[in-house]
Amino acid sequence: MNKIIRMEERNHKHPHTEVQETSIEELELQSWRKKLIGAWIFGIPVMLLMLIARIFGIEIISEQITVLIFLILGFPVVFVFGWETIKGGLKGFYTFYFNMDSLIALGTIIAYLTGIFSYFNFVADYSGVASAIMAIFITGKFIETKAKGKATQEIRKLLELGAKKATILRGKREMIVEISELKLEDIMIIKPGEKIPTDGFVVKGESSVDESMITGESLPVDKTKGKNVIGATINQDGILYVKTTKIGKDTFLAHIIKLVEDAQGTKVPIQKLADKLTNIFVPVILILSLLSFFGWWIFSGVLSKALGVAISVLVIACPCSLGLAVPIALMVGSGIGAKNGILIRKGEAIQTMKEVKIIVFDKTGTITKGKPEVSDIYSSVKKNYLLEIAGSLEKLSEHPIAKAIVEKAGLKKYNQVKSFKILRGRGVEGVIGNKKILIGNRVLMNERKINFSSFERVIDEFESGGKTTMIISENKEVLGVIAVADAIKDDSSYAIGLLNNAGYRTIMITGDNERTAKSIASQVGIKEVIANVLPEDKARKVAELQNELKLVNNRFVAFVGDGINDAPALKQANIGIAMGTGTDIAIESGDLVLAKSSLIGVVQSIRLSKATFRKIKQNLFWAFAYNVIAIPLAVLGLLHPVIAEIAMALSSITVITNANLLRGIRI
């Protein structure tokens, strides 16, 4: 969607959070609507009079007065309501860069001038045709603009998601302010059921937050002190105190909107080809129209007939449908993508994605959740007791593995821990009651001469599966083992299975050791693994895969990642697919962004690319087919200029309608 304008002026305002009154699309639609109404108010009397006098041959008033009426009523239609078209069309004749307006401008001006020349008996009058041509052309532009507006409707809805006001804490005083008045590091108070006004992190309170508009996940996400929250998501059951970290154009929501705005303004390679063809096509038609004029004039000797044929050729050949074929389909496709959480940053991705052969996946945060979770527990005592002492001790540690254990324990009340100590690289120790608790790896246990041989087989099994194991001992007696792993996303194996079945070559690339990498890969169905890769080498590995495909035309490599270290690889790949929950630099480096951070989005992107490009090819076929059939008819003098204009308008409507049929697909 284009940028929003006509917003209330305020200091420190932030565009996406304001009440957007009028978008550029809406203003453009309003403009064309006014032109449409004005053109038909003056155009209908002209067309009725032309129908009576020219078609049915009924003379109500004299020919001279009829022509005068055509000229008077036609002037505002052609030179007022159609002025932008005339101006844009004539510009091509001195820049030598022609577009669809060039033919319309020349056709209407020549037709209008015949009315003046008819007073001197030089030619027959076609001035009424000029009004009809321009009125129908304006109607087509209005339909086109309306179609574009519909295509961005889903994106515009994103703007409406944001909160309008925020409750903040200034000193010890609560106050309600407009979103535009929020400042960085303001403390926001979000009560149950309220939208979170902008991005920030929790400084106090606990609650669950509905993030379905961002992630697509129906289950709410628990938020405690230190956790990040996203603007426009909904607080559920507790009060949260949130410090603002991003406002205005820097927020996640504004970022999403900007990505789609940028995508809709870009041109795919086939669009550039269509533009080049249009620039060649128009001068060819001008020459053909000129040849038709002289041919008919020489062989028929009737100047008015020759002019009528020339005007018909100009009008019928107007490449409106050719010019609409690609952008309309692209805009509808990007709108569907946004609706499904696929944000197209670069328009060419629509064309390139369908040619992908190899898909390379980062592991952490892409295939996996990027967050350690307790995967297995093996205990010689009651599991609840093991989790109770482990959770109480690890509660005092900030290590990600400790947090995973605490989360798994889910204790409402923690045991008092004395003499707590972090043993860096090995584990933690402390005293609960009169019992000395030790939690750590093999190194720590060997260091303290604690025998864990009875658990050796289980530990080996866990570690061979790529899991990190923590051994828990009480007074030098091992009670059990807790395994922690970066859990695989729920739908990763399903998505990769779909890609494998469709014939795509899937590869996982990671800095992890080969054993861990292969374990994760086998769980999701990836057969090729590139392990022990340094962050700076990921792009090089992608380049090597690209070189493998050089012998195969139009076959590309896609890279899917989320971290800062993935940015070079995202840029290197033919298609970079960034996870929406990833880092800013990764998102900026991607051609596509998966807002839901689900690998199903990769499958959907390919389907969307194929469906959109199929519509583009269909549109181009119909645009060219129309001209192949219609132009010869015009040259042969079988199409009246008005009929030619109606046919031209119908071809544009056909292309627009065909593109909008894309909305019915399921990706």
Catalytic residue numbers, as ranges: 362
Q: How far is CA 384 from CA 71, 280, 409, 410, 428, in A?
A: 92, 77, 8, 10, 20
Q: How far is CA 449 from the centre of its chain?
A: 58
Q: Measuring CA to CA, which residue among 437, 264, 444, 237 is closest to residue 345?
A: 264
Q: How far is CA 331 from the centre of its chain?
A: 10
Amino acid at 194: E
Q: Measuring CA to CA, which residue among 594, 537, 543 is closest to residue 572?
A: 543
The SS3 call for residue 380 is: coil
CA distance 1 to 214: 18
Q: Compute how many other C-beta atoms are within 10 angstroms of the C-beta atom of residue 176.
A: 10
* Residue 209 DSSP code: E
346: its two tokens: 């670069």
Q: Measuring CA to CA, which residue among 342, 426, 302 is closest to residue 596?
A: 342
SS3 of 212-231: HHHHCCCCCEEECCCCEECC
Strand 592-594, strand 342-344: pairing: antiparallel
The SS3 call for residue 574 is: coil
Buried b vs exposed e over 432-452: b needs ≥16 C-beta within 10 Å? beeebbbbbbeebbeebebeb
* Residue 4 DSSP code: E
CA distance 73 to 63: 15
The SS3 call for residue 273 is: helix
Amino acid at 227: K
Amino acid at 389: I
266: its two tokens: 């870009």
74: its two tokens: 């036609």
Q: Measuring CA to CA, which residue among 603, 524, 526 is closest to residue 558?
A: 603
384: its two tokens: 């609840």
CA distance 251 to 230: 8
Q: How far is CA 388 from the centre of its chain?
A: 46
Strand 427-432, strand 200-204: pairing: unpaired
Helix/strand/coil percent split, the chain, to 5: 55, 20, 25
300 close to 309: Cβ distance less than 8 angstroms? no
Radius of gyration of the chain (CA): 34
CA distance 241 to 191: 9
Q: How far is CA 31 from the centre of its chain?
A: 27
CA distance 344 to 332: 12
CA distance 194 to 214: 16
560: its two tokens: 């899917």
Q: Give the side-chain half-sphere CA count within 13 A for 480.
A: 17
Q: Compute how many other C-beta atoms are within 10 angstroms of the C-beta atom of residue 415.
A: 16
